[in-house]
Structure 1
């Protein structure tokens, strides 16, 4: 999550912080014995949704909110029977006691903006005539449930209204298969008169929609921006971290800053919301760091927010490195931005340890201290990996080692262990002296060894013992995955 927010976008940021052209349909694999089907019907005013859930076999005990905010949004719930609907009790959860296999339940959700029951919770937001409503508001999870149950979903939308990409493509009957990730993580979804702009990236595809509002950049320029950021991030794993991702571009009035804010939602498919200044120039948008930062999050497992220093640190480090690798910045510019960031990190915070600052970041707003401390540790770890392997290993390789756990939720030490390939590896050794100290990590010794120094006119890259590693960090690296079929 990023904190470069101007007043014109503050309302959207507070809410978020918390299909157009599609591929040809393909039939789903045979369904398991138990199947649950969701039908999400949006009312024409885009302020209420009726969800019908049908249980073809066993019935769970309840339908539970996937986020605390969703508990306050359900207005009514009923089981549908031949003699008419029968009300179901709602006490946070929707009780399904008395519902029989083969019956359907319907609940009505209030999607009106401005109703957040929990401070900082993700809520809905109107952008002109369009609506952003995260799954946390309207998706309810069967409780209990097991992996053998097939979960299928479809939207029934008013004429002219489409939903942004949030789940895999529908079959010929309109059903989309969703999995446990849809209930574990929040995804961001837009509804409105949307057109999907499909952007091929190495090994994957981005489905982008632009919400109601004016932008200086046209569709071709938006594809160039997102495609360039997608290629840059592909230089970590050799391919884009997801085969498919949805991007919601939110025009932000009275702003010329390229991207004011970004946030990632994870689910059956990742979703990313990016607030773009309506007056942003194309030449400023393409080299901007925000999309690169947010896409980088998809390359690592999710870590709980109280330990955000590691995932935000990795994304903050890579937002410089990857732009240099892709030619969006020169190496000198990338190192210069990194040095500026380290200076910011030293000057911010509440004087507590990195572990404590990270835990309380959303309350203290010590974003600079947390993000840039994590970035300093990422740089030190990258150098440690390269030095310990005579230049044959890197932080990229560590990210690849952890990439098969991208759909999991880990603690920081679990992610470090996955990246190191065991206990006590280079990353763990770098972190240990700093995580429980109140000083900013001492990255100066590493920078001096690399030959990176701030001069009067900007950064200076000097002859130094680590100059070859310094240059290799910004090198494009291995070839990227091909995407011969583009966005099918």
Structure 2
């Protein structure tokens, strides 16, 4: 990883050397971005046509360790008309084996190129690369910002849509430059969700964080007021659990769809974003029963990690979501335990299991991770005489700056959590469960917790050895 610094003087000099500036519809130029984001070494201005057919990109890259430029696959097939300023004029660059070789970028280069946005959306049909979503095109900057594979380089980009078109992104906004997004190039892969189109926008402030809501304006009108109340309520539930909203800002992109169902997913790393596919017929009762939004927002409090640890992020969200909702009176305690008893069995190792890090099945990822969380939570409570819990570990991670907008190693996550609980439970349990199957005797666990299913009904035994811990898991928060 390289650590480089630049000044606005260097940036302006490079603009002058690399050819004339391009002017957008509002009169701004690439040079404006340079002045507004002098700390960035890779700078981009992106213009969008009214039909969302094509992006036109101007780029200025300061010296790079690697002169091979690319984007997230398979978006490279839709990068068009790449030209580099060679000091005398524009030179065409062609795609070769998925990348563009631009020797000029070793000492700094000016590029201009296009991205076939609508064609990419129609062919790729993937919201994490390019895809249509109820009249909008979803495509993150990792799909259309050409760059070297260098980490540790500060970048900035600005999108200048045509009149009648808007752009929203989960990438962090630049701290001082309005309309500019920025970050570290290590996050320029699988970037947070972003979209082009027409949106109804709302800004919600909850628990010290900002939720930027963008509802796609299409043929499926939603109950806007009910949708916003649902999003705000979910954010409040998550903020209460963590002690504050876990990220400073998140984009919540709402895509209306026919019917009543709700589906969601999130992406972080260099920002925070959630997509919610919401049935246009969904109403207050549907939102009151929904678990999806709280689940996705719980993810915001867990740092991005390598994919072999997906069980931890999904498992924590699966475990924490019902507890957080029950503590606010949004979910019956009986349902919490019914769902756990019916779900945790799917998290047990089966034949051929190689531990949580190496068994990426649905059951082990979601319910195996949730079982890890439950067992760890109970062990922390037992060792500390109920003075500490998994809640303390997760809140400490957020206080330490850990959220899904940043990358952490799993060891860092475990160490911060253990320090907060004054135990070594998380590290010990990870070392035991990560690389080999560990069987949990669920019947004995439920008996000790004092919970049982009898004739289809949940029964509690308040005299059971761990009944006090069971009650504490769903008791209203003391924060």
Same fold (TM over 0.5): yes
In the other structure, the counterpart of 1:447 is 446
The answer on 1:402 being equivalent to 2:400 is no
**Are the structure 2 counterparts of residues 165 and 184 from structure 1 closer, same or farther at C-alpha, using a change threshold of 3 Å?**
closer
**Are the structure 2 counterparts of residues 333 and 127 from structure 1 closer, same or farther at C-alpha, using a change threshold of 3 Å?**
same
In the other structure, the counterpart of 1:228 is 233
**Are the structure 2 counterparts of residues 350 and 281 from structure 1 closer, same or farther at C-alpha, using a change threshold of 3 Å?**
farther
Of 161-170 and 424-433, the range deviating more from structure 2: 424-433
**Are the structure 2 counterparts of residues 441 and 160 from structure 1 closer, same or farther at C-alpha, using a change threshold of 3 Å?**
farther
How far the C-alpha of 1:250 sits from its partner, in A, is 1.5
The answer on 1:193 being equivalent to 2:201 is no
Of 73-82 and 319-328, the range deviating more from structure 2: 73-82
Q: Among residues 370, 375, 382, which one is paired with 1:380 in the alignment?
A: 375
**CA radius of gyration, larger in:** 2
In the other structure, the counterpart of 2:23 is none
In the other structure, the counterpart of 1:166 is 170
The two structures, once aligned, show a CA RMSD in angstroms of 3.2
CA distance in 2, matches of 1:292, 1:215: 24
Q: Among residues 358, 363, 369, which one is paired with 1:368 in the alignment?
A: 363
Aligned partner of residue 459 in structure 1, secondary structure: strand
Q: Which runs of 5+ in 2 are unaligned?
A: 1-33
In the other structure, the counterpart of 1:305 is 307
Q: Among residues 201, 205, 209, which one is paired with 1:204 in the alignment?
A: 209
The answer on 1:71 being equivalent to 2:63 is no
Aligned partner of residue 396 in structure 1, secondary structure: helix
In the other structure, the counterpart of 2:15 is none
**TM-superposition CA deviations, 1:160-179 (whole Å, max 9, x none):** 11112333446566433333
In the other structure, the counterpart of 2:4 is none
**TM-superposition CA deviations, 1:208-229 (whole Å, max 9, x none):** 1122445574222111111111
**TM-superposition CA deviations, 1:275-313 (whole Å, max 9, x none):** 122322321123311111111111111122223211111
How far the C-alpha of 1:433 sits from its partner, in A, is 4.8
Q: Which TM-score applies when normalising by structure 2?
A: 0.81
**Are the structure 2 counterparts of residues 146 and 374 from structure 1 closer, same or farther at C-alpha, using a change threshold of 3 Å?**
closer
Q: Which TM-score applies when normalising by structure 1?
A: 0.80
In the other structure, the counterpart of 2:332 is 330
**TM-superposition CA deviations, 1:171-219 (whole Å, max 9, x none):** 5664333334642542111111112122222111111112244557422
**Structure 1 contact 165–207 (Cα < 8 Å) conserved:** no
**Are the structure 2 counterparts of residues 99 and 123 from structure 1 closer, same or farther at C-alpha, using a change threshold of 3 Å?**
closer
CA distance in 1, matches of 2:372, 2:151: 40
Q: Among residues 38, 45, 49, which one is paired with 2:51 in the alignment?
A: 45
In the other structure, the counterpart of 2:353 is 353
CA distance in 1, matches of 2:383, 2:473: 15
Alignment of 1:64-463 (within 5 A): 64-65=69-70, 67-80=72-85, 84-91=89-96, 92-99=98-105, 103-111=109-117, 112=119, 113-116=121-124, 122-144=128-150, 146-147=152-153, 150-169=154-173, 174-180=179-185, 182-213=187-218, 217-253=222-258, 255-257=259-261, 259=262, 261-345=263-347, 351-353=351-353, 355=355, 359=358, 361=360, 366-403=361-398, 404=400, 405-406=402-403, 407-421=405-419, 425-437=424-436, 441-463=440-462
Aligned partner of residue 301 in structure 1, secondary structure: coil
**TM-superposition CA deviations, 1:208-263 (whole Å, max 9, x none):** 1122445574222111111111112123320111111001112222x322x1x322
CA distance in 2, matches of 1:47, 1:432: 50
CA distance in 2, matches of 1:321, 1:179: 35
Aligned partner of residue 153 in structure 1, secondary structure: strand
Using CA pairs below 8 Å that are at least 6 residues apart, which structure has the higher relative contact order? Answer: 1
**Structure 2 contact 152–185 (Cα < 8 Å) conserved:** no
Q: Which runs of 5+ in 1 are unaligned?
A: 1-26, 480-488
